[in-house]
Structures are given as structure tokens and as C-alpha cells.
Amino acid sequence: MPKQKMRGHLKRLEVLLGIVAAIFLVGSLLSESYWNFPKGASSFMIFAYIIVRIYELLKSPKVYFEDFLALVLIFVFGIVHLFVRESVNAIVVVAIVFVLVYSIGLVPWVDELLKSRKIVSFILSYTFFVLMIILLFAGLYYSNNELFLQKGKPIKLSFEESLYFSTITFTTVGYGDIAPLATNRLIAAIEAVGALILNIAFIGYIFSSRRFRK
């Protein structure tokens, strides 16, 4: 098999393992009724990704320091997550998901989509960006999940409920079934205002930019 073709297969395997590892990490925050994989599944996927990534880096003609730094962070987290999963803060898990996204090369891919003249590619890149923001704020809400009210009574949100609250806050739907308290009010306000600005900028850019016109 030619080296170029083998490297292509290796890169696809690396990206696949990285995406699966990120999904497993997010899944580890969900309750068992939504996610019932073995305890060490997330760490196993992380270690599998690291092995393939290191092999790919050793074969690469150009290697950057931040690539190895990202792998060290992911590896340390994988060890910690394997043995003390319950003690790991949700925002730390989300941060490692972001590091994984960077490590597998999704950031340059999204950047290429943003530069594309195809409107579908631009919308895909924006959707990816929005999902990352929603996930980030869900992690923040889950880290303070006792500061919420539901029907006037204190409630402790699960991660899936935090994800739901982050989604309706970002989209400014605001059903009113869950209300934030204390610090979470400020976080929700930042997310809502940020989402409003981003969505206005996105729609305005789509309709005003000449790059999508023939």
C-alpha cells in the first residue's frame, strides 16, 4: 500500500477515534437512563486515540509543540477520568472535549468551511460553532446545577437538563419551565446576549455578503 494512501487511512482512523472519544466524554456526564456504557469506556477511547495520534505525529514531517501538549493533557485527563470519574468537574470534561476537537484537526476544517463560497459549508461551520458554545454553557450550568428553580421549587439539574437549558437559552426560546438563580442568572444572560449578537451577525452576513452570490 502506498505511504500516501496509508497515511490517509490513518488520519481518518485518528479523526474517527477522536470524535468517538469526545462523544463518550459527553455521554459520561449523562445519567444512566441516557448513557449506559461501562465506566472505563471513555478512557479506553481516549487511549486508543492517543496511540494512533502519536504514531501519526511520528510519521509527520512537521510536528508542533502544542500537538504534544494537547496529547499530554488528554492523557492525564484519561487517567484521572478512569479512576475518579465522579470527582471530575463537568467544565473540565467539556474543556477536554474542546482539546480533542483541536487535536483531531476540526478547527482548520471549520476554518476552511467558513472560507468556502458554498452557503451550505458556511452554515455547517456555524452550526458546529453553535453546538460547541451550547456544550460549553451546559458544562457551566451543570457545575452549578443546584442553583435552579422548577415550578418555584429548588431543583438539581442533570447534565441532559443542563444541555436542554443551554439550548433554549441560546436560541432565546425561554419556555420558563426552569429558572436560574444567583451566578447562573449572569451566565444565562451572557449566553442569551451572546447568542443574539451571533445570530444577528450570521443572518446579516449571509444576506449582505457577495461571496455567496454568483
Contact between residue 118 and residue 111 where contact means Cβ atoms under 8 Å apart: no
% residues pLDDT > 90 (the chain): 17
Span 135-154, average pLDDT: 87
| Complete DSSP assignment for 102-131 | HHTTHHHHHHHHHH-S-HHHHHHHHHHHHH
User: Tell me: domain 113-208, CATH 1.10.287.70, correct?
Assistant: yes
Q: How many residues are present in the chain? A: 214
What is residue 12's predicted lDDT score, i.e. its pLDDT?
82
Task: Give the 3-state secondary structure of residue 90.
Answer: helix
Provide φ and ψ at 57, rounded to 5°: -65, -40
pTM for the full model?
Answer: 0.81
DSSP 152: T
- Beta-strand (E) ranges in 32-191? 148-150, 153-155, 179-180
Q: Which residues contact 67 (CB under 8 A, 6 or more apart)?
A: 57, 103
Instruction: Report long-range pairs for 16-19 (Cβ below 8 Å, ≥24 apart).
Output: 17/45, 17/48, 17/49, 17/52, 18/49, 18/53, 18/100, 18/101, 18/103, 18/104, 19/104
Q: What would the pLDDT profile of 29-58 be if each residue is shown by its tens digit?
A: 887 767 777 778 888 989 999 998 888 888
pLDDT tens per residue across span 96-113: 888 888 888 777 776 666
pLDDT at 101 (0 to 100): 85
Angle at 134 between CA 130 and CA 140, to 5 degrees: 145
